[in-house]
């Protein structure tokens, strides 16, 4: 028997289905081939350079979730961050400080499903604390928040798909989950890929332990997004699982654009139809975890691969700053 909440969910699925399909196509439109390696030309770096690369990504995630959950950026005068840690989150530092571009009207998502609203709020607080932690660890070496685009970037995706002038990730539960899906797995692979770069000094080991802890939390976030999307459409009746597969395929294409050869695939969308052999017995199971399907080890991406995803293939010229999509002026720091 349908409940009020399932009716709301049915309405969300019906009203957003074409938009989400278009969103996946729009992501695919950005998957351009490239053999460039702007970030991989860096031959000398410090642990601080690696943490600053992570800080750029945390600025992006924290602002996305703050806008969705609270309707403000992490540096807003009335920022709710003051309630979480006692001080407003900082955005100043080394490099060119930018603002966050977003729609002029309220971005706070009109959540219809309490579970999704709860996830957004918790994740906003946690991503804000990641920003504060990294800034504290880096001290005066922390990079400033770069220019971040959370409006035109989505508009570009929607236009490329031919679905209209804009895709608003803050319009509904479904749109928000799609936006979150785009970001979360990238954060996990970025921390995994950066781990081998951290030094083996005493300080480096401390940083590695902290980075492993942040990776675990990012993986929890990604798991929540994936399991929530799966719960909305476990048999792919509305096509949600297909949407995630399209986005994952595009992230894989963008990440591999930086390499002449690469393992394939390196990103999995959700599936409910995979068959596995266990002790000679065929078992059907869902695939929710974004990992190597042979050994089930999380994927890792190097700095150039991550740059290509968040700038839409922007790391296209050796030695040239990668710009585009979510970072229109590029990232701050050595890996940019």
Which residues are paired to 283 by β-bridges? 276
DSSP category for residue 71: S
What's the pLDDT tens digit per position in 79-134? 564 554 445 789 999 999 999 998 877 789 999 999 999 999 999 999 999 999 99
Residues of the chain with pLDDT > 90, as a percent, come to 38
Cα-Cα-Cα-Cα dihedral of 140, 62, 299, 227, to 10°?
160
Q: What is the pLDDT of residue 316?
A: 60
Q: How far is CA 50 from CA 103, 137, 203, 259, 322, in A?
A: 31, 12, 13, 20, 17
**Nearest alpha carbon to residue 31 among 189, 247, 232:** 247
Domain ranges of the chain: 33-310
What would the DSSP string read from start to end of 105-138? S--S---SSHHHHHHHHHHHHHHHHHHHHHHHHH
| Range name among 17-21, 38-42, 271-275, 282-286 with the lowest pLDDT average | 17-21
How many angstroms separate the CA atoms of 80 and 74, rounded?
8
How many angstroms separate the CA atoms of 335 and 206, rounded?
21
Name the residue with higher pLDDT: 66 or 153: 66
**Nearest alpha carbon to residue 59 among 250, 270, 310:** 310
A 10 A CB-CB count for 1 gives 3
What's the pLDDT tens digit per position in 124-153? 999 999 999 999 999 999 999 999 999 888
Residue 260 CA to chain centroid, in angstroms? 24
What's the pLDDT tens digit per position in 197-213? 899 999 999 989 988 89
pTM for this entry = 0.85
What's the pLDDT tens digit per position in 275-313? 777 778 888 778 888 888 778 888 888 888 899 889 887
């Amino acid at each position: 028997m349908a409940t009020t909440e399932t009716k709301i969910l049915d309405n969300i699925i019906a009203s957003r289905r074409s938009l989400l399909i278009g969103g996946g196509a729009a992501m695919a439109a950005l998957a351009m081939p490239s053999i460039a390696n702007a970030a991989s030309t860096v031959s000398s770096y410090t642990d601080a350079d690696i943490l600053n690369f992570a800080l750029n990504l945390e600025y992006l995630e924290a602002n996305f979730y703050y806008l969705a959950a609270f309707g403000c950026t992490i540096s807003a005068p009335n920022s709710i961050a003051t309630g979480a840690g006692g001080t407003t989150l900082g955005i100043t530092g080394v490099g060119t400080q930018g603002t966050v571009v977003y729609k002029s009207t309220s971005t706070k998502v009109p959540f219809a499903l309490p579970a999704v609203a709860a996830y957004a709020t918790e994740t906003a607080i946690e991503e804000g604390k990641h920003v504060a932690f990294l800034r504290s660890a880096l001290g005066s070496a922390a990079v400033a928040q770069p220019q971040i685009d959370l409006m035109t970037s989505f508009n570009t995706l929607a236009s490329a798909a031919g679905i209209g002038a804009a895709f608003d990730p803050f319009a509904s539960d479904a749109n928000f989950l799609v936006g979150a899906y785009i970001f979360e797995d990238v954060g996990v692979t970025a921390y995994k890929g950066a781990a081998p770069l951290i030094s083996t000094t005493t300080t480096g080991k401390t940083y590695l332990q902290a980075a492993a802890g942040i990776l675990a939390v990012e993986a929890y976030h990604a798991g929540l997004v994936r399991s929530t999307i799966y719960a909305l459409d476990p048999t792919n009746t509305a096509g949600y699982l297909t949407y995630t597969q399209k986005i994952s395929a595009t992230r894989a294409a963008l990440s591999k654009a930086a390499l002449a050869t690469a393992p394939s695939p390196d990103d999995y969308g959700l599936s409910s139809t995979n068959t596995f052999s266990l002790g000679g017995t065929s078992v059907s199971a869902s695939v929710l975890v974004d990992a190597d399907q042979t050994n089930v080890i999380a994927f890792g991406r190097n700095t150039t691969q991550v740059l290509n995803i968040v700038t839409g293939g922007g790391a296209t010229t050796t030695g040239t700053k990668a710009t585009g999509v979510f970072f229109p002026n590029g990232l701050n720091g050595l890996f940019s």
